[in-house]
Structure 1
Amino acid sequence: MSRTAEPLSQAMALLDRLEPGAPAKVQTDLDAFSPGAAELVLGYAFAHIVGRDGIDLRTHEMLSVAMLVAMGTAPGQLEFHMRAAMNTGVAQEKIVGIVLQVSVYAGVPACMNAMAAAKKAFQAVEES
């Protein structure tokens, strides 16, 4: 990702690759909470971390899914990153595998919550 563009522009371009149409909604929601929140939150997360060289976008998304499953406290973000993972070429079977593997390390409740998120994400991708 180019380091010449401002972080928010970089973040929005990357976010649009993950889920077309997401940038406008996410920016509106964040900036309604606090003006400039989109630049602070998304600029850091997507332009400075996810957009870094060294790990491809598909792998970033699989890592995001695994960490969000383990956290067990961010169902909206988990569903988004499951859809984004599929939009970057991750097969549903791999997401199922990630969810099941996380159960060993983060527990069955986190796994079961992730199964519910996965069903919603899978359905959303199938309907799009």
Structure 2
Amino acid sequence: MNNERYTRGLAKLKEIDGKAGENVVESLKDIAPDFARLLIEFPFGDIYSRPGLDLKSRELAVVAALTAMGNASPQLKVHICGARNVGCSQQEIVEVIMQMAVYAGFPAALNGLFAAKEIFSQESQNE
């Protein structure tokens, strides 16, 4: 796992998600090491590293997409943390999640808001 895409992706993953992202990758190594490698190389090495959008915009887009899916709470929580790590405010995250009620329905938005509430509560406990 020592190629340019992997190295670039791992650096981007650490920048966005810190330890939480590394934990996800580590948890896959015993069952699907190739998937763990792909998870670093493609999304973070290829997509997140592209010019054109800053990390804040990318993370808000991911929060919106995962909220709209309605069934990705663990990943949504990781990306809410990532959004906070790259400078998104709580208000920006809440507004993006609320916007998803229009396109994905109230249940998806409610699930997203509860995920955000949990992350924000953890943040305040760690202060």
Distance in structure 2 (CA, Å) of the matches to 1:105 and 1:27: 31
Structure 1 pair 24/97, CA: closer, same or farther in 2 (3 Å)?
A: closer
Distance in structure 1 (CA, Å) of the matches to 2:16 and 2:50: 15
Distance in structure 1 (CA, Å) of the matches to 2:89 and 2:122: 14
Partner of 1:31: 29
Partner of 2:105: 107
- Unaligned segments of structure 1, at least 5 residues: none
Structure 1 pair 97/30, CA: closer, same or farther in 2 (3 Å)?
A: same
Q: Does the Cα contact within 8 Å between 1:72 and 1:110 map onto a contact in 2?
A: yes
Q: Does the Cα contact within 8 Å between 2:25 and 2:39 map onto a contact in 1?
A: no
Instruction: Please state if 1:88 is matched with 2:86.
Output: yes
Distance in structure 2 (CA, Å) of the matches to 1:52 and 1:126: 33
1:125 to 120, 123, 126: 123
Task: Provide, for residues 78-120 of structure 1, a one-character-per-residue CA deviation record: whole Å limited to 9, x for no partner.
Answer: 0111111011111001111111111011100001111110011
Stretch moving more, 29-38 or 95-104: 29-38
Tell me the SS of whatever aligns to 1:33. coil
TM-score (normalizing by structure 2) = 0.89
Q: Does the Cα contact within 8 Å between 1:11 and 1:47 map onto a contact in 2?
A: yes
Partner of 2:20: 22
Distance in structure 1 (CA, Å) of the matches to 2:114 and 2:91: 15
The percentage of aligned residue pairs carrying the same residue is 35
Tell me the SS of whatever aligns to 2:38. helix
Q: Does the Cα contact within 8 Å between 1:82 and 1:95 map onto a contact in 2?
A: yes
Q: Does the Cα contact within 8 Å between 2:101 and 2:108 map onto a contact in 1?
A: yes
- What residue identity is the alignment partner of 2:111? N
TM-score (normalizing by structure 1) = 0.89
Deviation, 1:23, is 4.6
For the aligned residue pairs, the C-alpha RMSD in angstroms reads 1.4
Distance in structure 2 (CA, Å) of the matches to 1:75 and 1:23: 15
Distance in structure 1 (CA, Å) of the matches to 2:102 and 2:25: 36
Partner of 1:75: 73
